Amino acid sequence: MDFIDVINNRRAVNFFDPDKDVSDETLKSIIETAAKVPSSFNLQPWSLIVLRDHEEKMRLQSLAWNQPKVSEAPVTLIVLADRDGWKEDHRFVEKNFQEMIKTGAMTEEQRQWFTDARISLYGESEEKQLAFACKNTGFFAMALMLAAKNLGLDTHPMDGFDHEAVRKEFNIPDNYWIPLLMAVGYFNKDMELALPKWRKNFEEIVVTFH
Ligand SMILES: Cc1cc2nc3c(=O)[nH]c(=O)nc-3n(C[C@H](O)[C@H](O)[C@H](O)COP(=O)(O)O)c2cc1C
């Protein structure tokens, strides 16, 4: 699909085809395509819990405003943003550093600089750690939706859920924030797609402050 078609045709759909599953292979392809998005220092502070089991999805639905799409979609993702994803002892921070050394993007001598830079950007406050985790994971989540659309699937992002209740129910450690849930599947063509929503235009988006 052309990029512009992917952008124009992606919608938050409410109805998923009950007869069309999402194969493991398709899901993996969507996730690994989305993982190409950029992230601060390439730290990639996102993770996903993949729910396919009906009973598990119902447990989530009961904590998500009882939105039927949570259980009707063949796959529902709990998107996780790791607030600790910049810290020195985090396993992907060291992996990231070693990978940068391999490609020549950094040298061993720059280790201290890399540590200090992360601390100065994210170490100052919980707000900055939350922003770090959620902004990067937001890019990833958007790319998941576009990668799904590109393969003919549809999605629905949701923040209508009880954050702390979902954290407890699914044993999600405290370092993760849950920016959104995402239903993934194939649109049920027997149902009507809601009319496209309005968007802010150029003049409404661009601002100046004097
Ligand atoms: C982060 C986020 C959270 C959302 N949460 C919900 C939700 O809980 N329930 C819902 O019905 N729609 C939810 N939406 C869908 C939006 O209402 C929808 O994307 C918007 O109205 C634009 O429609 P479109 O995606 O079809 O273009 C959410 C969208 C985003 C990006």
Evaluate: CB of 158 within 6 angstroms of ligand 1: yes
* Residue 132 resides in a domain: yes
Distance 13 CA to ligand 1 centre (A): 9
User: How does pLDDT run along the chain (210 residues), one tens digit per residue?
Assistant: 899 999 999 999 999 999 999 999 999 999 999 999 999 999 999 999 999 999 999 999 999 999 999 999 999 999 999 999 999 999 999 999 999 999 999 999 999 999 999 999 999 999 999 999 999 999 999 999 999 999 999 999 999 999 999 999 999 999 999 999 999 999 999 999 999 999 999 999 999 999
Task: Tell me the residue range of the domain where 117 lies.
Answer: 3-188
Q: Which long-range contacts (CB under 8 A, 24 or more apart) does 159-163 make?
A: 160/64, 160/65, 160/67, 161/60, 161/63, 161/64, 161/65, 162/63, 162/64
**What is each CA distance from 193 to 12, 13, 14, 17, 196, in whole angstroms?**
9, 7, 8, 13, 8
Give the count of domains, the chain. Answer: 1
Task: Decide if 96 is inside a domain.
Answer: yes
Inside any domain, residue 202: no
Is 42 a domain residue? Answer: yes
In a domain, 200, yes or no: no
Q: Cβ(50) to ligand 1 under 6 A?
A: no
**Residue 195 within a domain:** no
CATH code of the domain containing 53:
3.40.109.10
In a domain, 193, yes or no: no
Provide the whole-model pTM. Answer: 0.97
Q: Which residue is closest in CA terms to ligand 1's atom 31?
A: 157
Task: Please check whether residue 169 lies inside any domain of the structure.
Answer: yes
The rounded Å distance from CA 155 to ligand 1 centre is: 10
Q: How far is the CA of 102 from the centre of ligand 1 (A)?
A: 40
